[in-house]
């Protein structure tokens, strides 16, 4: 699996990139989520272990993709920790928004944001997370996605 992950991250563009996390699709079922911080040392490893644990518990509660093994890889010459996770079909943004990720000044932005904030599935996901003491302050439209069965799940716990 590690060789396959290395091949993917060296050759393919990122699927989703946040402030700290990057997700690469390995195949239709699995992806690799990695977190770039300092030097790939013990603190980075502990952070990724904690995030993976949060997602594993969230998966058992039904509002996150499953997680797999954790790996240390090299990306652009830097050691980085990450873990295998189930792929979502697409993010909420990808399914519902027609404008570009960085196009915040378009006329459709406000309507899309209202649609996101009033989406029943998003509200249910937010409530389930809060009922289980998960922080939802970063539950924006790039951090939720649809599983193949149509469920909306949280995909970022960092």
- The burial class, CB within 10 Å (0-12 / 13-18 / 19+), for 131 is exposed
pTM: 0.83
Beta strand ranges found along the chain (DSSP E): 16-17, 21-25, 30-35, 67-75, 78-86, 90-91, 144-146, 152-154
Whether the predicted pLDDT of 59 surpasses 90: yes
Residues 16-27: tens digit of each pLDDT: 656 567 888 888
Phi, psi of 72 (to 5 degrees): -105, 125
Whether the predicted pLDDT of 15 surpasses 70: no
Query: Are the CB atoms for 152 and 144 separated by under 8 Å?
Result: yes
Q: Which of 49, 68, 52, 71 is nearest to 2 (CA)?
A: 71
| CB under 8 A, 24+ apart: contacts of 36-43 | 36/75, 36/78, 36/80, 39/78, 39/79, 40/72, 40/78, 40/79, 40/80, 40/81, 41/79
Mean pLDDT of the chain: 86
Q: 154 or 24: whose pLDDT is higher?
A: 154
Residues 67-78: tens digit of each pLDDT: 999 998 887 777
Residues 82-131: tens digit of each pLDDT: 999 999 888 899 899 888 766 777 888 888 999 999 999 999 999 999 99
Question: Which of the following CATH numbers is that of domain 2-154: 3.40.50.450, 3.30.70.120, 3.40.718.10, 3.30.200.20?
Answer: 3.30.200.20
């Amino acid at each position: 699996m590690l060789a396959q992950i290395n091949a993917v991250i060296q050759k393919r563009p990122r699927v989703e990139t946040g402030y700290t996390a990057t997700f690469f699709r390995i195949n239709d079922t699995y992806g690799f989520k990695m977190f770039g911080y300092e030097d790939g040392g013990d603190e980075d490893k502990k952070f990724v272990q904690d995030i993976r644990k949060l997602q594993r518990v969230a998966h058992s509660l039904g509002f996150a993709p499953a997680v797999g093994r954790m790996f240390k890889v090299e990306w652009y010459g830097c050691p980085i920790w990450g873990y295998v996770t189930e792929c979502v079909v697409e993010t909420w943004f990808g399914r519902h928004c027609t404008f570009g990720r960085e196009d915040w000044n378009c006329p459709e932005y406000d309507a899309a944001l209202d649609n996101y904030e009033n989406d029943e599935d998003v509200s249910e996901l937010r409530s389930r997370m809060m009922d289980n003491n998960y922080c939802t302050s970063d539950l924006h439209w790039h951090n939720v996605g649809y599983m193949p069965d149509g469920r909306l799940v949280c995909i970022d716990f960092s």
